[in-house]
């Protein structure tokens, strides 16, 4: 991994298309993924259509290593999950007053295929998951 993503053109993801947008925001589908820390633990997803539309996302694997949501067959096929281990699972963060109050949405993670530059917010039908899980429960 390079600090200057341009050095590594093959893996550089300037633009991500979020198919269908985030739920509640279907009109915004083109985003950039901006790395907020060197370790790749925090990203900012910013709309290219409307700069005020932005979200903080974190890689699920770093904070919830046991999180393995079941996705439906159609999603698995769209992202070629069988043969595409490079697909990433990102969690949308709601920043709290303090870091400890920050929560993530485990019910609707984002699947991101960095090669295809396509993402999708999927719904995991599991009543044990919450849309507001404290990040520090991790």
Partner 1 sequence: MLVLSRKVGESIVIGDDVVVTILEIRGDLIRVGIEAPKHVKVHRREVFEAIEAANREALAPTLAAMSDFTSAIKGLPNLPKAKDPQ
Nearest to 89 by CA among 116, 138, 122: 122
List the one residue from 15, 40, 84, 137 that touches partner 1 (CB under 8 A).
Answer: 40
d(CA 3, CA 82): 30
Residue 109 has what DSSP assignment? P
How far, in Å, are 34, 61, 90, 137 from residue 45 at the CA level? Answer: 6, 18, 11, 23
Applying CB under 8 A, does 137 fall inside the site for partner 1?
no
Applying CB under 8 A, does 49 fall inside the site for partner 1?
no
CB of 82 to partner 1, least distance (A): 17
Binding site for partner 1 (CB under 8 A): 1, 5, 8, 11-13, 22-25, 33, 35-37, 39-44, 52-56, 58-59, 61-63, 65, 74, 86, 88, 90, 92-95, 99, 102, 105, 107-108, 112, 114, 121, 123, 125, 131-132
């Amino acid at each position: 991994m390079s600090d200057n993503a341009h050095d590594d053109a093959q893996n550089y993801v300037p633009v991500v298309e979020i198919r269908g947008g985030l739920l509640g925001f279907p009109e915004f589908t083109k985003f950039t993924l901006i790395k907020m820390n060197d370790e790749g633990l925090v990203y900012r997803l910013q709309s290219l259509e409307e700069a005020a539309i932005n979200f903080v996302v974190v890689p699920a694997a770093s904070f919830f290593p046991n999180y393995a949501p079941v996705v439906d067959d159609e999603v698995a096929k769209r992202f070629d999950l069988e043969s595409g281990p490079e697909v990433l699972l990102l969690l949308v963060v709601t920043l709290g007053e303090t870091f400890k109050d920050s929560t993530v949405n485990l019910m609707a993670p984002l699947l991101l295929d960095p090669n295809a530059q396509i993402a999708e917010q999927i719904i995991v039908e599991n009543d044990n998951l919450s849309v507001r899980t404290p990040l520090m429960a991790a």
